[in-house]
Each structure stands twice: as structure tokens, then as C-alpha cells.
Amino acid sequence: MLTGIRLISEAAELAARRHTGQQRKARADEPYINHLAEVASLLSAASNGEDAELVAAGWLHDTLEDTETTHDELAQRFGLRVAGLVEECTDDMSLSKSERRQKQVEDASKKSPGAKLIKIADKISNVRARIFPNPTQAQRDELADYVDWAEKVVAGCRGANATLDDLFDEAVANARSAM
């Protein structure tokens, strides 16, 4: 079983390979891997670098919904905890966007502590990516919509990590001042 730096490195490599060519939704000129790196970095900081499985799951958190990667593949390569965290953070893509969003709000408080941390880190990264200098009205509207929804999801995850809670609040404050 992989551990420590090797676990994280191999998760980062798989994430990079599986997300090749994908761009961020909020910033079409930015490679998607930047989002995964930011989420993993936030999780590393939140765990003081002491939870390699959490950081690896941060790198991989979108692989099940955005790529052909399977739960079994993740479990075999990275262990059951990593695969479980990724699965817990995976949206059901057969649902409409509004249904997926509502399900995230409803399910947030029921997540495991690790999945809550991934959800908060993901929302921090996504809010930050939607803040533009001199935004258009459409960008302001999209940011306001995203922040309102992200706050509802994170409300169900709060208390799992004070650092991430504070960073989310900071991202929201920065977003509100950019609107």
C-alpha cells in the first residue's frame, strides 16, 4: 500500500493524466489541474501535512465524475479510505445541475469529517476562481449565485477545521467585495 509522499505523488500524477486537456469552468484559460492542486494544498495545510490520504483524495476528488476512473481503480491503487472520500465527494451526474446542487446542500452535514474538509476546500478554490478584476455583470451574477449556493453547502460542513472555515469566509468576503 502506498503511503506518505508516494501516495500523494501518484495521486497527483493520476489526476493530471486523467484531467489532461480539461479547463476550469470559471476560468476557461486555466488548466483544471490547477484547481486540484489548490484543493490538495488547502487540505495539506489544514491537516498540517499529516494526512496523506486526505491530500491524495483532494487531488482525485473529481476523477469519478469527470473522467473514466472507477471507484475500484482508486481503491486498488490508493486504498479504501481515499476511494471512499472521492466517492463521497462525487456528484451524481445523471441529475440536473439544480438537483445536484440541492443534493450537495442536503448531504453536506452527513459527510464524513474528511469529505467535509474536501468539500470546503473545493468551494474555497471555486469561489476564488470566480473573482475577476473588473468583472462583467454576467461574471458578478455568476459569482453571486455560486457564493450563495457554496455558503449553504459549507454550512453543513463547518466545524471540521477552523483553518478551512476561516479561508472560506475570507474567500466569500473577497467575492462579495468584487460583486
Q: Mapping DSSP to helix (H, G, I), strand (E, B) and coil, where does residue 63 land? A: helix
Catalytic site residue 169?
no
User: What is the reported pLDDT for 82?
Assistant: 98
Assign 2 a pLDDT band (cuts: 50, 70, 90). confident
- The stretch 87-102 carries a mean pLDDT of 96
- The stretch 71-90 carries a mean pLDDT of 98
Mean pLDDT, the chain, whole residue set: 96
Question: Distances in Å between the alpha carbon of 129 and those of 2, 29, 85, 94, 96?
Answer: 32, 11, 23, 26, 23
Q: How far apart are CA 119 and CA 11, in angstroms?
A: 18
| Catalytic hit among 66, 91, 107, 142 | 66
Assigned fold of 4-178: Hypothetical protein af1432 (1.10.3210)
- List the helix and strand counts (H, then E) for the chain: 10, 0
| Catalytic hit among 13, 30, 53, 65 | 65
Catalytic site residue 10?
no
Q: How far apart are CA 111 and CA 119, in angstroms?
A: 9
Query: Considering just the CA atoms, what is the radius of gyration of the chain in Å?
Result: 16
- The stretch 57-83 carries a mean pLDDT of 97
- The stretch 30-53 carries a mean pLDDT of 96
Pick the range with the lowest mean pLDDT from 26-40, 63-77, 100-114, 159-173: 26-40
Residue pLDDT, tens place only, 4-23? 999 999 999 999 999 999 99
Residue 140 has pLDDT above 90, yes or no: yes
Assign 115 a pLDDT band (cuts: 50, 70, 90). very high
User: What is the reported pLDDT for 137?
Assistant: 95
- The stretch 145-149 carries a mean pLDDT of 98
- The stretch 70-79 carries a mean pLDDT of 97
Mark out the alpha helices in 92-161 (DSSP H runs): 97-107, 113-129, 137-155
Residue 26 has pLDDT above 80, yes or no: no
